[in-house]
C-alpha cells in the first residue's frame, strides 16, 4: 500500500462528501462577506484612483467624508477592492482618531460631530465648562466629544463642527456653526502664485534647475547660516542634506506638516499667509538631495489649507517648476504620534503610525525603504530668504549670543497671543513684554511652557534664560517647536501637569508598554491626592529609559518639572479651571 493510499483510506468521509463527519460543505468563503451594494459604492468613490496599499488612509478619508463614518460593510468592500486583509484595513481605520468605525449592528454617529479642544490653552480658556454646556444642550442629536489640540491655541477655546473650526468659541457661536453645518472650503492664500511669482518668487528654484547653482553651493549656504530643523529636534539642516545625499538613490523626501504639539500653530500661520515661499523651499531641498518624490503630510485639522495647497501646487506644476520631482499631498487622520518622523512615514505608507526602532535612521531607510529627507514646514519656509540674502543676514540677528530668529507660537495669559517672529535667544520676559503686550489684566506671571507639552513647565524665576536650542536642557527642559504657553497665578500647576499627561495618555500609540501603561498609571496617580512623589519619580524613570520614541520619553517632563519648580502647588488640592 502506498502512502497515498494510506492517506486516502484514513480520511473520514461525511454524508455530504465534504470529508467531515456529517458537516455541510461551506457555501461561502470564510470571513465577512462583501456586500455587493457596498462594493459598488466603494468603486464609485475610488473611480480610477490607484488601489495601492499606501493609499489606504486616503481612501478611508473618502469614505468618511462621504458617509460620515466607516461602516463594517464599506471596510470589507474596501479591503476586497484593494486586495488587502480585512484585519489590515480595520487596524488602520481604528488607529486614527478622525475615523469613526461603526461595527456591524452598531448605531452610526449623528450627522454632525462637535469636537471641543481640551488641550492646555483651551482648558485655560474654559473649554471644560463649554464641553459640559454643549453636551447638555444637544444631548444625542449632535455628537459632542473632546478632542486634542487643533492648532489654534491663540484663539482659544476652539471647537470644530465637522471640519470647520470656531475660534473664541461659546455656546452661541457653536450653535450658529451647527446650524450652518458648513464643509471646509479652500482658504485664499495670503500670497497667490501669481503675486509671489511677480515679486521674484521661484527665481532661486529656476536658477537651480537651470544649472546656475550647484548643490554643494546650496548646502554650504545653509550650513553657514546655522539653520536647524524647526519642528522640534533642531538638527542642522545642511548636515541632514549631506547625510541623505551620501545614500544611494533613488531618494525621497517627506515634509512634516503634522504639528500636533499642544501650543504649536506656526506652520498653519505661514502656510496660510505665504504658501509659495514654503513650496519653493521644499522644491529646492528636493533638488539638492535629488528626491524623485515628495510626500507632504498635512494635519487633518487644516482642511482649508489642504484644499488651497492642492490648487496652488497644481499651478506650480503647470508652470513647469517640478521637472525634477513629483509632489504628493497626504492627509493625516488625527494622531499626534505621526509628528514623529518614522511614525509619519509609516502613515504615509498607509499603515498605523507606529514609530520605528532605530537604527536604521530614516535618512537611510525611510519611505518604501528608500533614503528619505524629512523636513519641517517652517524650516523650508525660510530657505529662500536665507540663501538669497546670505548667511550673514540670518546670523546677524539674535540676542544674548544666539544667532538667527525663531517663530514662537504664544498662547495663554498674555494680551496679544499669536505667532511672534523674534530674535533667537530672546528671553521669556522679553518675549512677553515686547511682543505679546504683557500679561492679561489681573494675572501675575507664574510660569511657562517653553516648548509645548514635551518641554516641561518652568517658573517665572527662569524667565531671563535665553530661549534657544541647548539653553534649557541643563534645567530639564527644551525649546522644541517653540510652542510657548504662559501661565499665571490663576493657574493650578498640578492641573497643568495632569492636562498634559492626559494628552500623552490619549496620544500614545500603544506600541510599547512603558509609554502605554506608564501614562495611564501616571494619570491615575496624579488625579489622586496628595501626589506620591517617590512613586511618580520611579514611574517617570521607567518611561524615559524604556520608551521607544520621544512621546513616552518626554511625557514625564511636565510632571517632573512641576514637582521640582512648584512644590507649593503640590500641597494644594487639585482645582483645575
pLDDT digits (tens, 9 = 90+) for 507-529: 999 999 999 999 999 999 999 87
Query: How far apart are the C-alpha atoms of 23 and 138, rounded to whole Å?
Result: 53
Give the pLDDT band of residue 6 (cuts 50, 70, 90).
Answer: very low
- Which pLDDT belongs to residue 11? 46
What mean pLDDT is predicted for residues 186-197?
Answer: 90
pLDDT tens for 206-215 read 999 999 999 9
Other Cβ atoms less than 10 A from the Cβ of 188: the count is 10
pLDDT tens for 333-371 read 999 999 999 999 999 999 999 999 999 999 999 999 999
Q: Would you say residue 236 has pLDDT above 80?
A: yes
- Where are any strands of DSSP class E within 258-360? 291-298, 326-331
- Which pLDDT belongs to residue 473? 94
Give the pLDDT band of residue 462 (cuts 50, 70, 90).
Answer: very high
Q: Would you say residue 29 has pLDDT above 90?
A: no
pLDDT tens for 260-286 read 999 999 999 999 999 999 999 999 999
Phi first, then psi: give them for residue 329, nearest 5 degrees: -95, 110
The residue with cell 550647484 is 214
* Distances, alpha carbon 339 to alpha carbons 173, 344, 407, 523, in Å: 31, 6, 18, 23
Beta-ladder partners of 164? 161
Choice between 123 and 188, residue whose per-residue pLDDT is larger: 123
Query: How far apart are the C-alpha atoms of 245 and 412, rounded to whole Å?
Result: 42
Phi first, then psi: give them for residue 98, nearest 5 degrees: -85, 0
What mean pLDDT is predicted for residues 416-426?
Answer: 98
* DSSP per-residue string spanning 6-49: HHHHHS---TTSSSSSSPPPPSS-SSPPPPHHHHHHHHHHHTT-
H helical segments located in 68-170: 72-82, 86-93, 120-124, 127-138
Instruction: State the DSSP code for 336.
Output: G
Query: How far apart are the C-alpha atoms of 14 and 22, rounded to whole Å?
Result: 5
- Which pLDDT belongs to residue 21? 57
Grid coordinates standing for 89? Answer: 484595513
Angle of helix 266-273 relative to helix 303-318, nearest 10 degrees, comes to 40
- What integer best gives the mean pLDDT of the chain? 94
Q: Would you say residue 143 has pLDDT above 70?
A: yes
Q: Would you say residue 161 has pLDDT above 50?
A: yes
Supply the pTM of this predicted model: 0.93
- Which pLDDT belongs to residue 351? 98
Amino acid at each position: 500500500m502506498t502512502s497515498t493510499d494510506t492517506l486516502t483510506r484514513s480520511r473520514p468521509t461525511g454524508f455530504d462528501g465534504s470529508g467531515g463527519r456529517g458537516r455541510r460543505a461551506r457555501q461561502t468563503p470564510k470571513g465577512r462577506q462583501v456586500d455587493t451594494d457596498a462594493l459598488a459604492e466603494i468603486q464609485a468613490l475610488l473611480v480610477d484612483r490607484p488601489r495601492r496599499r499606501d493609499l489606504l488612509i486616503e481612501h478611508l478619508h473618502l469614505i468618511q467624508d462621504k458617509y460620515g463614518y466607516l461602516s463594517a460593510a464599506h471596510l470589507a468592500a474596501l479591503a476586497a477592492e484593494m486586495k488587502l486583509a480585512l484585519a489590515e484595513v480595520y487596524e488602520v481605520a481604528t488607529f486614527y482618531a478622525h475615523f469613526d468605525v461603526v461595527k456591524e449592528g452598531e448605531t452610526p454617529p449623528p450627522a454632525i460631530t462637535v469636537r471641543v479642544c481640551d488641550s492646555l490653552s483651551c482648558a485655560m480658556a474654559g473649554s471644560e465648562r463649554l464641553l459640559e454646556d454643549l453636551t447638555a444642550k444637544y444631548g444625542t442629536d449632535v455628537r459632542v466629544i473632546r478632542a486634542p489640540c487643533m492648532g489654534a491655541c491663540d484663539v482659544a477655546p476652539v471647537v470644530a463642527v465637522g471640519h470647520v473650526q470656531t475660534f473664541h468659541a461659546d455656546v452661541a457661536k457653536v450653535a450658529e456653526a451647527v446650524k450652518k453645518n458648513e464643509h471646509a472650503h479652500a482658504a485664499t492664500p495670503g500670497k497667490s502664485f501669481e503675486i509671489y511669482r511677480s515679486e521674484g518668487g521661484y527665481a532661486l528654484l529656476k536658477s537651480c534647475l537651470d544649472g546656475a547653482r550647484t548643490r554643494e553651493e546650496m548646502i554650504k549656504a545653509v550650513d553657514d547660516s546655522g539653520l536647524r530643523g524647526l519642528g522640534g529636534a533642531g538638527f542642522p539642516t545642511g548636515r541632514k542634506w549631506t547625510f541623505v545625499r551620501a545614500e544611494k538613490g533613488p531618494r525621497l523626501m517627506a515634509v512634516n506638516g503634522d504639528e500636533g504639539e499642544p501650543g504649536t500653530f506656526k506652520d498653519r500661520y505661514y502656510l496660510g499667509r505665504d504658501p509659495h515661499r514654503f513650496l519653493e523651499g521644499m522644491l529646492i531641498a528636493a533638488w539638492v538631495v535629488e528626491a524623485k518624490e515628495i510626500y507632504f503630510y498635512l494635519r487633518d485639522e487644516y482642511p482649508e489649507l489642504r484644499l488651497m495647497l492642492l490648487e496652488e501646487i497644481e499651478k506650480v506644476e503647470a508652470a513647469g517648476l517640478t521637472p525634477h520631482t513629483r509632489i504628493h499631498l497626504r492627509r493625516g487622520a488625527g494622531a499626534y504620534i505621526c509628528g514623529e518622523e518614522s511614525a509619519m512615514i509609516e502613515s504615509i505608507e498607509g499603515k498605523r503610525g507606529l514609530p520605528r526602532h532605530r537604527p536604521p535612521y530614516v535618512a537611510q531607510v525611510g519611505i518604501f525603504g528608500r533614503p528619505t529627507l524629512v523636513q519641517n514646514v517652517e524650516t523650508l519656509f525660510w530657505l529662500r530668504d536665507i540663501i538669497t540674502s546670505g548667511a550673514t543676514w540670518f546670523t546677524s540677528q539674535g540676542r544674548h549670543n544666539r544667532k538667527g530668529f525663531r517663530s514662537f507660537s504664544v498662547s495663554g495669559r498674555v494680551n496679544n497671543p499669536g505667532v511672534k517672529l523674534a530674535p533667537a535667544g530672546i528671553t521669556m520676559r522679553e518675549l512677553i513684554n515686547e511682543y505679546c503686550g504683557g500679561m492679561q489684566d489681573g494675572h501675575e506671571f507664574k510660569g511657562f511652557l517653553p516648548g509645548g507639552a514635551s518641554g516641561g513647565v518652568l517658573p517665572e524665576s527662569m524667565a531671563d534664560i535665553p530661549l534657544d536650542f541647548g539653553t534649557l536642557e541643563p534645567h530639564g527642559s527644551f525649546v522644541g517647536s517653540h510652542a510657548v504657553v504662559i501661565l499665571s497665578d490663576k493657574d493650578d500647576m498640578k492641573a497643568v501637569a495632569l492636562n498634559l499627561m492626559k494628552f500623552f495618555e490619549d496620544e500614545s500609540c500603544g506600541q510599547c508598554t512603558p509609554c502605554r501603561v506608564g501614562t495611564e498609571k501616571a494619570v491615575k496617580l496624579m488625579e489622586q491626592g496628595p501626589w506620591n512623589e517617590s512613586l511618580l519619580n520611579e514611574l517617570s524613570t521607567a518611561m524615559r529609559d524604556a520608551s521607544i520614541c520621544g512621546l513616552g520619553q518626554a511625557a514625564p517632563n511636565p510632571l517632573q518639572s512641576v514637582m521640582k519648580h512648584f512644590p507649593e502647588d503640590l500641597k494644594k488640592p487639585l482645582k483645575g479651571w
